[in-house]
Structure 1
Amino acid sequence: MTSSPPALTRIRVGSAPDSWGVWFPEDPLQVPWDRFLDEVAEAGYEWIELGPYGYLPTDPARLADETARRGLRVSAGTVFTGLHHGPAVWEQTWEHVSRIAALTRDTGAEHLVVIPSFWRDDKTGGMLEDPVLTPAQWRELTTQTERLGREVRERYGLRIVVHPHADTHVDTPENVARFLDATDPESVSLCLDTGHYAYCGGDSVEAIEAFGERIGYLHLKQVDPRVLAEVVADGLPFGPAVERGVMCEPPSGVPALEPVLAAAQRLGVELFAIVEQDMYPCPPDRPLPIARRTRAYLRACGAR
C-alpha cells in the first residue's frame, strides 16, 4: 500500500483556454467560450486564465457574472511583447498591455503573464528575425521589461511574470538565466512553464532550486520525448510541433509533475500552477476527458 503525497497547501491549481485548444480570440476550430467555462468547471478546476484577449467576454461585469455562476476565478491575463525592439515599440506595446491589464485587474487577478515575441512564424516556420539577440537587443529586452513591470504594478496593481517559450529569445536554461541575471527581482518575476522549459532542454526542478526566489507563477504541461526528438530533427516551429502532439497528457511525458510541485511547495510561497496542454487545433470533444483525468492526476500528486 502506497501512502499519499503530502498536501500541496501552497499550490493553487487551475486550467486555461489553451487546454481546450484555444490560441486565438476567434477561430472556427476552437470551442465557444461558454463551453470552455462550462467544461473547465465540470472538470473540477476553480481557477482559470483569460487566454487570448477577446476570447472570453471583455466586459468586466459580464465576465464576473459568467465566471462566478460557474464557481470560477481568474488567476492571470496574458500578453505578447517584442520589447527587445526597444523604445520604438513601447507605445504600441503599452496600448495592447494596458487593455488586458485593466481587464485582468477588474477580475481580481494579480498576475499578468508576459510572453516574448516569436523569432519565426508559428505556422509557416518562416524566419521573422535572428533567433540570437545582439547585446544591444538584450539590454533593450531587459530594461524595457523592467519598465513594463513597474508600469503594470503602479497603474494596475499586477505582477508581471515572464514566460520562457519555445521559438522566442527567452527559451533555453542559459537564456532564462541571462534574462534573470539582468532584470530587477522587484519588477520582474518568472512564469516557469514546465513543458516549454523541457522542450528547450531545461529541468524544472533544477530551475526551482536554482532561482526559486524569482518564480512567481507556474504553467504545468508535459512533453512527449519521442515527438520532441522528431521535432528537433525536422526543425519544426512550435505550431506544427503542437499539431504533431509534442505536448502530451500527463503523466505520459516529461517532466514528472509530482517532484516539480513538491519543489514549488518547498519555496514556502503561494503559487498558482495552471495546466496548459497545448492542443491547437483539436476536436471539440477531446479536451474535457483529458482535463478530468489531469485534475485527478494532480490530486494524486497532492494538489487538492
Structure 2
Amino acid sequence: MSSSTALSRRGFGRLGASAALLSPLAGLVPQALAAPGDSPRSDGDPWLGLKVGVASYSLSKLSLDEAIKGIRRVGVNYVSIKDSHLPLKSTAEQRKAVVRKFRDAGITTLSCGVVGMNDDEASLRNAFEYARDAGIPTIVCKPTRKSLPQLDKLVKEFDIRLAIHNHGPEDQVWPSPLDAWEAVQPFDERIGLCIDVGHTARCGVDPAEAIRKCAPRLYDLHFKDLASREGKSRPVVVGWGVLDTLAMLRALLEIKYSHHVGLEYEAEMNDPLPGVAESIGYVRGALASLKS
C-alpha cells in the first residue's frame, strides 16, 4: 500500500463513506450538483472541475429506469451508457429517447461503450450512427488494429471521438494504454484512449503516469480500485484496494482533464448501489483533501 493511499484512508475514508452512504442513498442530492451545461469549475464544486460520473456497465443488471434513479441517488450527473441500457441494435428514435431520459433526470451522457469493433465497415458505421443518433460525443471501444485506417475516415465523417479501452495482460491487442497511445499516433487526433486504471495497473504501468503521458488524447477514463495488481484481481470499493486514488486524481487535475471520469464498479453486480455510492463518496472525500 502506498503512503498516500494509507494517508487518504485515515484522512478522509470516513468522510467519503458517510457522504456516499448517508446522503445519496437517503435520496438526497448534494447542493453542489450542477445542471447539464453548467460550467464544471465554480466556487464550491466538490469535484474540482472533474466530470465524475458512472459507467452504466456498473449497473448493467438494473433496468434503465433503475440505473437512472441509482445514478441520481449517488449524487453525480454524468454517465457512459453501456448497450445493456441502449442496445446497439436500436432505432434512431429509441436512441434519442434513452438519452432524453437521462437528460430529463439531470444526467449528461458523455460517452457510450465499451463497443467491440471488428473490421466490417457496416458494423463500424453502425457504431458511429448509434452515437450520432443519441448525440453522444465519444465512443469507448475495442477495435482491431487493422480497422484503424477505416476508423480514421469515420471520425472525420461523423466528428465523433473514439476512446480505445485497454483490458489488461489478457488482452492480446490493447493490454496497456501505452499500446493504444503508440498505435493512434499516425491517425486523426479524434482517435484516442479510455484508460482503465485497474487494467493499466495490472500491466505494471502506473495509472497516474499513463494519464499524464496520454493526456492529449485521453477522452474517457474508467476509475476503480483492485484488491491487488496481480492476475485478474478482484474489484473492490474505491479506497479499499491497492490503487493510489490521490495520485490518479492529482494527475487528472494537473492535465485539466475535461472528459468523463466514469466509476466502473464490477463487484456485487446484483446489488451495486452501496459499493457505487461508497466509491463515489470516497472520490469526493479525496478531492476535498486535495482542495484543502
Q: Name the TM-score, length of structure 2 as normaliser.
A: 0.72
Aligned counterpart in structure 1 of residue 217 of structure 2, from 200, 214, 225: 214
- Offset of residue 74 of structure 1: 0.5
**What is the aligned partner in structure 1 of residue 189 from structure 2?**
186
- Offset of residue 13 of structure 1: 0.5
Aligned counterpart in structure 1 of residue 253 of structure 2, from 250, 265, 277: 265
Question: Distance between the aligned counterparts of 1:205 and 1:178, measured in 2?
Answer: 18
Matched, 1:113 2:124: no
Question: Distance between the aligned counterparts of 2:104 and 2:252, measured in 1?
Answer: 31
**Are 1:173 and 1:201, in contact at CA under 8 Å, matched by a contact in 2?**
no
Matched letter for residue 167 of structure 2: H
Aligned counterpart in structure 2 of residue 69 of structure 1, from 80, 88, 104: 104
Question: Distance between the aligned counterparts of 2:85 and 2:75, measured in 1?
Answer: 24
Question: Distance between the aligned counterparts of 1:9 and 1:173, measured in 2?
Answer: 25
**Are 2:160 and 2:190, in contact at CA under 8 Å, matched by a contact in 1?**
no
1:238-249 alignment to 2 at 5 Å? 241=232, 246-249=234-237
**What is the aligned partner in structure 2 of residue 17 from structure 1?**
56
Matched, 1:171 2:171: no
Structure 1, unaligned runs of 5 or more? 23-29, 83-88, 118-137, 233-240
- Offset of residue 99 of structure 1: 3.7
**What is the aligned partner in structure 1 of residue 269 from structure 2?**
282
- Offset of residue 114 of structure 1: 1.3
Structure 2, unaligned runs of 5 or more? 1-9, 16-44
Aligned counterpart in structure 1 of residue 69 of structure 2, from 21, 38, 41: 38
Report Cα offsets for 1:187-224 as digits up to 9, x if no partner. Answer: 42111111121122221112123332232221101221
**Are 1:160 and 1:189, in contact at CA under 8 Å, matched by a contact in 2?**
yes
Matched letter for residue 254 of structure 1: V
Matched, 1:197 2:197: no
Matched letter for residue 113 of structure 1: V
What is the number of equivalent residue pairs in this alignment? 242
1:35-114 alignment to 2 at 5 Å? 35-52=66-83, 55=86, 59-78=94-113, 79-82=115-118, 89-105=119-135, 109-114=136-141
Query: Aligned pair in 2 of structure 1 residues 259, 185: CA closer, same or farther (>3 Å)?
Result: farther
**Are 1:146 and 1:183, in contact at CA under 8 Å, matched by a contact in 2?**
no
- Offset of residue 35 of structure 1: 0.8
Matched letter for residue 62 of structure 1: A
- Offset of residue 174 of structure 1: 5.8
Question: Distance between the aligned counterparts of 2:128 and 2:81, measured in 1?
Answer: 15
Q: Name the TM-score, length of structure 1 as normaliser.
A: 0.69
Report Cα offsets for 1:79-98 as digits up to 9, x if no partner. Answer: 2113xxxxxx3324324413
**Are 1:163 and 1:191, in contact at CA under 8 Å, matched by a contact in 2?**
yes
Cα root mean square deviation, aligned = 3.0
- Offset of residue 255 of structure 1: 1.8
